[in-house]
Amino acid sequence: MKKYALLFISLTIGIISAQERTKDTTFISTGNPVIRYKYTADPAAMVYNGKFYLYTGHDVCPPRQERYVMNDWCVFSTEDMKTWTEHPTPLRVKDFTWAKGDAWASQVIERNGKFYWYVAVEHGSIHGKAIGVAVSDNPIGPFKDARGSAIITNNLTTRYTKISWDDIDPTVWIDNDGQAYLFWGNTQCYYIKLKENMVDTIGPIMTVENLPSYTEAPWIHKNKNWYYLSYASEFPEKIVYAMSRKITGPWEYKGILNELAGNSNTNHQAIVKFNGKWYFIYHNGGADVGGSSFHRSVCIDRLYYKPNGEMKRVIMTTEGLSGK
Ligand code: FUB
């Protein structure tokens, strides 16, 4: 009987959660997972004008199946890390006419008052995954395709790896001199320079070396004079990191930042500072109902540094930020 009740609840969550949002929905987060009424994955975070914006993927795999089913992305905002608002669905795979599926990992960054959302999707006519970019005047969207074509396609990287899913998981960094860089990759980490318009590339694709057991999910951040490149390692995935004095490396491997996240064979992190505190945003399969590798949930815990600039291992908690 209990089995059928759980299946019913899981089907209901699945149906509600698969629907697109059409209006703002406000909720109080009581700990981890942060969002309990839908499955969210692959978090990216951005701080802008005193608000924390959380961008996520959206797992809608039908119950009893085991595959990624992801059609759109979500955006949430908060001013205090407790009261959150989910905004109307800001971006979908179908907004990229050249793409045919898989709303995978992404990141949003602001430049000159515009917001650029870099996403991984399955390309419609060039075999394999690809990276696209959407743009909006508002951090909550709506966003529209900024180029009408992919920035990166699989045929550009086949000399490095033959797999068709290496061109995923974009992360973007604008350095002090104004030069923007797009990093991405599964199996191999790549980067390329972006023009000031944030949608065209400059120069060749470069590879990042010295990232042991690199799987995917690069995220770049900076604290004081150190650059940090964190990434998912091995499979199932742990989050590990490397440090450098320059965005272009060389990178020095520093080890594990976050151990295996419960009940999910992937993990995917974002790291940002908000109101003087550093946050580690990730996903696990820990939803009370139906949580799994294909029904993931975003979690947030605090991140701390050692005096020498290295990061302390993240302590994943059920309480999350409640009471902190
Ligand atoms: O969510 C689909 C893929 O799984 C992402 O692109 C990877 O980072 C992993 O989380």
In the chain, pLDDT over 90 holds for what percent of residues?
A: 92
Predicted confidence at residue 1, as pLDDT, reads 46
- How close is the Cα of 69 to the center of ligand 1, in Å? 11
Give residue 64's pLDDT. Answer: 86
In this predicted structure, what is the pLDDT of residue 37? Answer: 96
What does the angle CA 105 – CA 245 – CA 274 come to, to the nearest 5 degrees?
Answer: 50
- What share of the chain in percent tops pLDDT 70? 94
| 216 ligand 1 Cβ < 6 A | yes
> pLDDT by residue (tens digit) across 131-152?
999 999 999 999 999 999 999 9
Q: Which residues are CB-neighbours of 138 under 8 A, at least 6 positions away?
A: 115
Query: What is the number of the ligand 1 atom nearest to the C-alpha of 267?
Result: 10
Question: How many DSSP H helices and E strands does the chain contain?
Answer: 1, 23
- CB 168 less than 6 A from any atom of ligand 1: yes
Cα(92) to centroid(ligand 1), Å: 16
- 282 Cβ below 6 A of ligand 1: no
User: In angstroms, what is the span from residue 282 Cα to ligand 1's centroid?
Assistant: 11
Q: Which of 268, 282, 294 to mutate to test the pocket of ligand 1 (most atoms within 8 A of CB)?
A: 268
Q: Do residues 122 and 102 make contact, with C-beta atoms less than 8 angstroms apart?
A: yes
Mean pLDDT of the chain: 95
Q: Of all atoms in ligand 1, which is nearest to the CA of residue 283?
A: 10
Burial of 5 (0-12, 13-18, 19+ CB in 10 A): exposed
Q: Which residues in the chain come in under a pLDDT of 70?
A: 1-17, 323-324
Enumerate residues 6+ apart whose C-beta is below 8 A from 123.
98, 99, 100, 129, 130, 150, 153, 154
Q: For ligand 1, is residue 41 a contact (CB within 6 Å)?
A: yes
